[in-house]
Amino acid sequence: MSELLIISTLTGLTTLLGAVTTLFIGTPGKKLMAFYLGLSTGMMTLVSVIDLLPASLRNGDFYGTLLGVCMGLIFLLVVQKLMNHFYPHPHLDVLDEESSAWQKTGWMMTIAIALHHIPEGIAIGAGFHAHHSIGAMIALSMSLHNIPEGIGLSAPLILGQLGRLRILLVAFLISLCIPLGAWLGELYFTSSPQAITFGMAFACGAMAYIIIKEMGPASIRLHPKSAQLGMFVSLIAMIFLHFLE
């Protein structure tokens, strides 16, 4: 459990790293952001299809796996719908806004990222229970995903004239949602073979939603070629890592 706590905490802190990058260096260019997102998209896709899904089916039956995948998808779909209901346009806009409007955008993104981090932590916890290498790969892919999230979180808060220390504190607290999710995953989704099946399938469904609805489209929008390069590099990396096992 201590190893899982350390790795999930370090994974969460990459959100803080993204915020620090924006505060003290500036927002990275579109090509680099697209590459990061493409790399994370490819790694998460391959981990889900090659590792999590087969491990879920190994520990249980098809219907338990199907239920878990559907629940993971539905959970993040509901989160997204709630966020859109309370604030229809949570993404950054090129138009000039008042500082209060940017702060509102930043706070809504903060809530959205916090809610997303919990199933990400569950995915890490479930992956570690299947095999340490699966958990490590999920953690690495989530880390690459969290850096742009930290950048996206801090940018509107900066424009909203929130102080640097407050932005860093917000990013730090958001980072802790991933070890919280990992703890919940270890506590509730590893108690029986059925729970393990459901936990891994839930993580797979949650990751599929993030890939299909968020990271994949976002990376292509930013810079298609850089995104595709990131996805290709992730494929080579995953083949190499599986060859070493």
The full set of domain ranges for the chain reads: 2-244
CA distances from 9 to 162, 173, 180, 188, 232 (A): 25, 11, 9, 19, 28
- Token look-up 């989704």 returns 189
Please give the Cα distance from 23 to 54 (Å, whole number).
41
Rounded to a whole number of angstroms, the distance between the first and last alpha carbons of the chain is 22
Is the pLDDT at 215 greater than 90, yes or no?
Answer: no
**Which is more confident, 229 or 125?**
229
Is the pLDDT at 95 greater than 70, yes or no?
Answer: no
CA distances from 200 to 49, 83, 122, 209 (A): 11, 25, 8, 14
- pLDDT, residue 92, reads 41
Mean pLDDT of the chain: 78
**pTM reported for the whole predicted model:** 0.65
- pLDDT, residue 189, reads 67
Q: Tell me the per-residue pLDDT of 45-91, one tens digit each, with 9 for 90 and over.
A: 877 787 778 877 877 778 888 998 999 889 888 877 776 666 554 44
Span 196-215, average pLDDT: 80
Is the pLDDT at 1 greater than 70, yes or no?
Answer: no
Task: State the alpha helices, DSSP H only, in the chain.
Answer: 2-24, 30-46, 53-59, 62-86, 99-130, 132-159, 164-175, 177-188, 193-209, 216-222, 224-244
